[in-house]
Structure 1
Amino acid sequence: METQPQGQLMIIGGAEETTGECRILREFVRRSGGIKARIVVITAASSIPVEVGYEYVEIFERLGATQVQVIDTRSQEDGNTLELLRVVAQATGIFFTGGDQARIIRSIKDTILEDALHKRYGEGAVIAGTSAGAAVMPDTMIIEGDSDTNPRMDAVAMGPGLGFLSRVVIDQHFAQRGRLGRLLSAMLQKPNVLGFGIDENTAIIVNGDRVEVIGEGAVTVVDESGITYNNLDRVLQDEPVAVYGVKLHILPDGHWFDLASRQPMGEVVGSRE
């Protein structure tokens, strides 16, 4: 029987608040150990890693983390640097910034850094990611795709993610960029997975099979396991896909979802304190 990781995932839909209350980033610091948190910021996705790294160092230090370090990987050679093992081994919270998720895969996938990240997650570290950093969390990720489209097989390109979460596909900036068709297209390529579309300044926190929603937007959960019909056997790549019987849940702040039963768990009273 596979051992359940001791850590938690915080998967953010992008554009999280970085001034004022910073509720989502504040919760990340809190769950990473509060004022004792030792945070590593991974800027692999960004085209301006120095500037982005500095911004998050300032935020996490302002929120009280005891130590914040930046890891800037731009190639697999960087991801195989032994010095990174020491940095990650001491981290209680690890944060992937936004940018381009393909950059993260190019520099971290199949490296000793990837192994070290999974080890820390298994031991209890909090792994967080925003935007592109959210997309890479599952074992299969959306590399790129069209927004504001109906489902089509050519609407989205899929590839391997970092594998912190299985049988799930993540899409971010969800309501803001009209990505329901894109997420449905991705799920038709990977039957029986769950789709989580996460709005901006909104996050899911995954702790075992329990998924908690926090933030100002909502999370759209799409379940295609019970579909009664699709026309995939007849359509060409660029033609509209028909699908019947898709189950959809909308979960705002304070609501929960159970990955094992594939069912929402309701609202936690007092969650908006």
Structure 2
Amino acid sequence: MRRFAGLLLAGLVWCMQAYAAEAAPQGSLVIIGGALRADNAVVWQRVVQLAGGAGARIAVLPTAAANPERSGANLAANLNRYGAAAFIVPLSARLKDRDFRRDAEDQALASSIRSAGGVYFTGGDQALITQALVRPDGSRTAVLEAIWDLYRRGGVIAGTSAGAAVMSSTMYYNARTVFATMSEGVNDGRELAPGLGFIGNDVFVDQHLLARGRFARMLPAMLKKGYKLGLGIDENTAMVINAAREVEVLGYQGALLLDLSQAVVGDGKDFNISNARISYLDRGDRYNLSTRYYTPSADKVDGKVDPQKPYLKDPVYSSDILGHNAVLVTMERLIDNAQTEAIGIATAAPGEPRQELGFEFKFTRVADTVGYASAATEGYSILNLRLDVRPLQITRPWYK
């Protein structure tokens, strides 16, 4: 896999130049953070709607799945339950008695995708998607070109988990733990590899975000590759991105937006960054990636938080900021608080390298920080908290 990633990287510059003159896609993306439940009707229905509505033909690519037959059949059944006419594209290195490289160049398969209204990538191992759809020189196979044709003319490309990771031009594909990623750094061809770039070359995408504390691993990847904007989507939740580059959040929870436009990387060998911005887009919220304009969901329109009338006054602290949902809880407790700063700490788990190293995450309300409280739930939308990360020296207890 690493050798293949190196070959992809070598061909990436040529291919990006070759594809730079392409017309802007008129279609939509549905980027799902993984663990999408069968009863999450709002997400499934939107995929079908964007593909053309009732009876829409949607190509299911189980390319990343550990068990392509089972995953493909399950996903097609779910889509059909919500009105689609889904069909499975048998393209995977894990399909027995098939040659995935030959299948990726099969004109009949490419034609079936090109004439469909949408494509849906299953979860699994995202490296298997790029291995199957991108030639060793970095150019597109016939099937991948058909997917781009569908997208350019107005179709929808959806993907969950691994299928979400390939949406940006760079993806994690052989990642270590979040803490190890921060403490040890990231490298092309090892932790990072080229994705398929449907969202463009200016936005980094990650998934399983809040459930697995992955917001922190977005930072070193974005810095390494020069991204200013990053979008991380949580489980059982989707980001819908239209041709105008407007993001709409659907489903169970929300998405984090990281903005490194004003960020500064400090000196020293260990990871540190100051003046980044972190925002939380809740379900129903919209955010335009081109104009940076935010529109709150209907239940938050009149819910702008007044910093002069805070609901809370207690200090905000998390001893495990990389834990399940910990970053969101910290942000929500800070946005409607008399306190202006919150602190979160990350330390290495047993057995991880750099046991002496930790990280402090400081969240600060600044002049352009804005919060919106929901009238229907206890949820918040949060814009432009300042985020600073610095290394800490950790003293471990000594035992006989």
TM-score (norm 1): 0.90
> What is aligned with 1:200?
235
1:223 aligns with 2:222: no
Asked if 2 retains the 8 angstrom alpha-carbon contact of 1:145 and 1:182, the reply is: no
Do the aligned residues in 1 keep the contact of 2:40 with 2:251 (CA within 8 Å)? no
For residue 47 of structure 1, the aligned residue among 51, 66, 73 is 66
**Secondary structure at the residue paired with 2:212?**
coil
Whose radius of gyration is greater, 1 or 2? 2
Show the counterpart of 1:177: 212
Asked whether the 8 Å contact 1:191–1:224 carries over to 2, the reply is: no
Instruction: Read off the aligned partner of 1:204 and give its amino acid letter.
Output: M
Cα 1:264/1:199, change in 2 over 3 Å = farther
Q: What's 1:119 paired with?
A: 149
Contact 2:263 2:274 in 1 (8 A): yes
In 1, the alpha carbon distance for the partners of 2:101 and 2:203 equals: 26
Q: CA deviation at 1:68?
A: 1.4
Match of 1:258 in 2: 288
Tell me, yes or no, if structure 1 residue 76 matches structure 2 residue 76. no
Partner of 1:32: 51
2:167–2:195 contact (8 Å) kept in structure 1: yes
**C-alpha separation in 2, matches of 1:270 and 1:60:** 29
Q: CA RMSD in A?
A: 1.9
Structure 1 runs of 4+ off > 6 angstroms?
none
The Cα shift of 1:72 comes to 2.2
Q: 1:207 and 1:106 mapped to 2: Cα distance?
A: 27
Change (3 A) 1:184 1:21: closer
Identity %: 34
Q: Does 1:154 align with 2:178?
A: no
Residues 152/224 of structure 1: CA separation in 2 closer, same or farther (3 Å cut): farther
Tell me which of 118, 121, 125 is aligned to 1:100.
125
- Pick one of 163, 171, 179 that aligns with 2:197: 163
For 1:34, what is the secondary structure of its paired residue? Answer: coil
Deviations 1:90-140 (A, max 9, x none): 210110000000000000113111111111100011000000000001122
Stretches of structure 2 that go unaligned for 5 or more consecutive residues are: 1-20, 93-99, 135-139, 301-375, 377-400
Find the residue that maps to 1:35 and give its secondary structure: coil
TM-score of the superposed pair, with normalisation by structure 2? 0.62
The Cα offsets for residues 156-196 of structure 1, whole Å up to 9 and x where unpaired, read as 71111112112111111111111122111111111233111
Q: 1:213 to 1:21 in 2, by over 3 A?
A: closer
SS of the residue corresponding to residue 182 of structure 2 reads coil
Give the Cα–Cα distance (whole angstroms) in 1 for the partners of residues 282 and 172 of structure 2.
23
Q: Secondary structure at the match of 2:109?
A: helix
> Closer, same or farther in 2 for the Cα pair 1:185/1:119, shift >3 Å?
same
Larger RCO: 1 or 2 (CA < 8 Å, sep 6+)? 1
Q: Which amino acid aligns with 2:90?
A: D
Q: How far off is 1:216 after superposition?
A: 1.2
Matched, 1:242 2:272: yes
Counterpart for residue 13 of structure 1: 33
The alpha carbon displacement at 1:21 in A equals 4.5
Note if contact 1:73-1:108 (Cα within 8 Å) is conserved in structure 2: no
Shift of 1:270: 6.7
